[in-house]
Chain A
Amino acid sequence: MSLARRIIPCLDTDGERVVKGVNFVGLRDAGDPVALAARYNAEGADELVVLDIAASRDRRPTFLETIRRVAAELAIPLTAGGGIRTLEDGRAVVRAGADKVTVNTAAVERLELISELSREFGAQAVVLAIDAKRAGDHWDVMVRGGRESASRDAIEWARMGVAAGAGEILLTSVDRDGTQSGFDVALTAAISKSVTVPVIASGGAKSPGHFAEIFRDGAADAALAASIFHDGLQSIRKLKEFLAASSVEVRLPC
């Protein structure tokens, strides 16, 4: 009996519709967020993440409405983010029904945002999203959708985020994202062993074996994927059955 490893589908939206990324470029429409949320909730997803990857100011009310509609379908936790720049932005997504807020670029620019959100909602509600890319002997933090280097070390940044009040880290490998060649085991293990909070691995998932590997060798507490679930390539139920058979503790849906 112990804490189960979590499987988390992610809905990358343009605020209103789900789009999917291949190395963060070449987006294509992959469905209605509310229908997908209902499907994943029923299939045994442990949480759901909804991101506004366009994150433009004038589309914000549309995204909040999407959060409201998605939250109404869920009996599992919901994390929302994309373009969260201020405490007020965080409040808006929590009020719309998100249990956790994820922050990426804005935290790099102003770490205090993590502390402000953590003081108001508790560390369990604040997820620091880190996009990391291999640079020689370390990993660089990338911002603006993985396009620009922030010139800081990912491990150091993860520790700073946790010290500031983040209760979880959503770690995306920019090198692996969209490649379907498996999670970045070395990156995830390095970050997971350097921080005291749970780490969600993201980027590169395709096969059930990739998930078993990231839990076994990558010390991930949770694993996130998008397109393989949306395309129906991988059912969450079957994935969890595979993991259970591989001695990974998961919550099996009834």
Chain B
Amino acid sequence: MKITILDYGAGNVPSVERALQRLGAESQRTASAECIAKAEALLLPGVGHYAALVRALDEKKLRAPLVDAIRSGVPFLGICLGLQVLFKSSEEASRLQGLDLLPGIVSALPSNVKLPHMGWNQLEKKRESSLLTGVDAGAYFYFAHSFAALDSNALAAATCSHGAEFTAVIEQQNIFAVQFHPEKSGDSGARILQNFLRLAA
């Protein structure tokens, strides 16, 4: 099985590729609708501004093929912005529309804490999660973001807290997504990617 990475110009594509390589997984980058339609498993990395991701998906005409693939059951892993874009919209760019595959919106984290939420934090597991199989309860993951899904914690597999509780891990049928960066989260992050590879196989 090959992982198809949506390459819309995000900075973390090479580190995601390296992390997959270390696990012995094959991956290919694409920005083509055709390759998305044929993908066995999709990975949407993302870091930076929400608008950059949404605009790139629209300019490259990838929105419809991506939504179709996810709706048809292709295993999907979203990382950071790749999680945020699954919701209806984000306060970071409120005029733009997200993929609207999950109920809820992305909001700014409260300003009573240092932002960006940058560094290693722990998860609070909310339900059984295949993505978190074998991950220690106290494991730390690397976060780097100022916006988060605050109103969707009821559907979260795990949450994290920084000023407010937010959705850190999503697992809804074939839709997997994490707010942190597994490709930058050492052994714990590698475990998450390995679990996705197993689930997607």
Contact = CB atoms under 8 A, between A and B. Distances in A.
Interface in B100-139: 111, 114-122, 124, 136
A174 B184 CA distance: 31
Interface in A167-182: 167-168
Interface stretch (A22-30, A57-65, A120-128): A120-128
B196 interface: no
Contacts of B153: none
Contacts of A196: 111, 114-115
Among B12, B144, B161, which residue has the most Cβ atoms of chain A within 10 A? Answer: B144
Nearest to A168: B118
B14 A77 contact: no
B186 interface: yes
A123 B119 contact: no
Contacts of B120: 3-4, 6, 46, 251
Contact of A75 (B116, B140, B185): B185
B145 interface: yes
B144 A197 contact: no
Top 6 A-B residue pairs of the complex, sorted by shortest distance between their CB atoms: A122-B48, A251-B140, A124-B144, A124-B116, A251-B120, A4-B120
Contacts of A124: 47-48, 116, 118, 144-146
B161 A2 contact: yes
Interface in A101-128: 119-125
B75 interface: no
A168 B116 CA distance: 8
Interface residues of B, number: 37
Among B15, B118, B120, B187, which residue has the most Cβ atoms of chain A within 10 A? Answer: B118
A122 to B, nearest CB: 3
A197 B114 CA distance: 5
A75 B186 contact: yes
A41 B136 CA distance: 19
Contacts of B49: 119, 122
B171 interface: no
Contact of B184 (A1, A2, A75): A75
A212 B48 CA distance: 32
A94 B11 contact: yes
B168 to A, nearest CB: 12
A97 interface: yes
B189 interface: yes
A74 to B, nearest CB: 8
A4 B121 contact: yes
A254 interface: yes
Contacts of A99: 11-12, 15, 47, 144, 184
Contacts of B144: 77, 99, 124-125
Nearest to B14: A97
Contact of A4 (B119, B146, B181, B186): B119
A72 interface: yes
Contact of B119 (A75, A97, A221): A221
A3 B117 contact: yes
Nearest to B46: A122
A123 B14 contact: no
Nearest to B144: A124
Given A41-B186, A77-B181, 18 more contacts: A1-B122, A2-B162, A3-B162, A4-B119, A4-B140, A5-B119, A71-B14, A71-B18, A75-B183, A75-B187, A97-B14, A99-B15, A122-B47, A123-B116, A124-B116, A124-B146, A125-B48, A221-B114
A77 B142 contact: yes
A21 interface: no
B41 to A, nearest CB: 21
A124 B46 CA distance: 12
Contacts of A167: 116, 118
28 contacts: A1-B161, A2-B162, A3-B117, A3-B120, A3-B121, A4-B120, A6-B119, A46-B120, A71-B14, A75-B186, A75-B189, A76-B142, A121-B11, A121-B47, A122-B49, A124-B47, A124-B48, A124-B144, A125-B11, A125-B47, A168-B118, A196-B114, A197-B115, A197-B118, A198-B119, A221-B114, A251-B120, A254-B136
